[in-house]
Amino acid sequence: MSRKQLTIGILGGMGPMATADLFQKIINHTPAKCDQEHLRILIDNNPQIPDRTAALTGKGPNPTQELHKTAEGLIRSGADFIIVPCNTAHYFVHPLVKEFHVPVLSMIKSTADYVCENYPEVKKVGLLATSGTIGAGVYSEVFHEIGLDVITLCPEMQEELVMGAIYGLEGIKAGYIKGPRKKLIKAAKMLEKEGAEVLLMACTEIPLALRPDDADVPLLDPTDILAQAAVKKALGGC
């Protein structure tokens, strides 16, 4: 007898395009030959969750209450586990996990496992992420535990190239792609020069602009890695 498929709950809206991107990637990774073989997925696209980076830098309200409310709604609706398509939000979600009676599949842990399995010789990982994710140590803490160094841009270049690409007036969150892509390619090249052997697109907006061939080292998409892990879990894997 085949195992019961689990229902995925996507705690989304951070931002809406990143949520849609994760949904599409789950569909792409599902080995389905007809509609009925696809997974049941519940999505709460809640763009009213306060900005995570603003909260971490003391420039905005804490998103914890809205994250908790959104997750609880997904659980009441039947989600067997939850995934969060926002890297920075993991800083706020992690302390809430013990309050839920369903698991939260971590994008950060899934990415660390993927790097260890597929790039065992790598020692330096370049991080393209929001300043909030970097400052909170969302990735560095997990990666240091497995013996990998995480390198980032200097504060000035981080603000100009990465934060500008994501949050700028003509940034990804405003619906632009071409200009942000140029900034992010420059940022990627700088991290490569610093010795990065793989690069993580550790903000869910970044894969909307960068392409796999934009770097000379592997350019990994944690959103895609999370989608693969979610499909595996929903189909009865670990």
Catalytic residues: 86, 203
CA angle 169, 158, 51 (to 5 degrees): 55
Handedness of CA 165, 57, 51, 22 (dihedral sign): positive
- Cis bond upstream, residue 15 (ω within 30): yes
**Tokens encoding 79:** 């989600």
| Residues 133 and 88 sit within 8 Å (Cβ to Cβ) | yes
Please tell me the distance from the alpha carbon of residue 50 to that of residue 184, in angstroms, as a whole number.
25
| DSSP reduced 3-state for 30 | coil
Please tell me the distance from the alpha carbon of residue 69 to that of residue 71, in angstroms, as a whole number.
6
CB atoms near residue 28 (< 10 Å): 11
Q: Which of 236, 234, 164 is nearest to 10 (CA)?
A: 234
Please tell me the distance from the alpha carbon of residue 115 to that of residue 152, in angstroms, as a whole number.
17
Q: Regarding beta strands 104-105 and 81-83, do their DSSP bridges make them parallel or antiparallel, or are they unpaired?
A: parallel
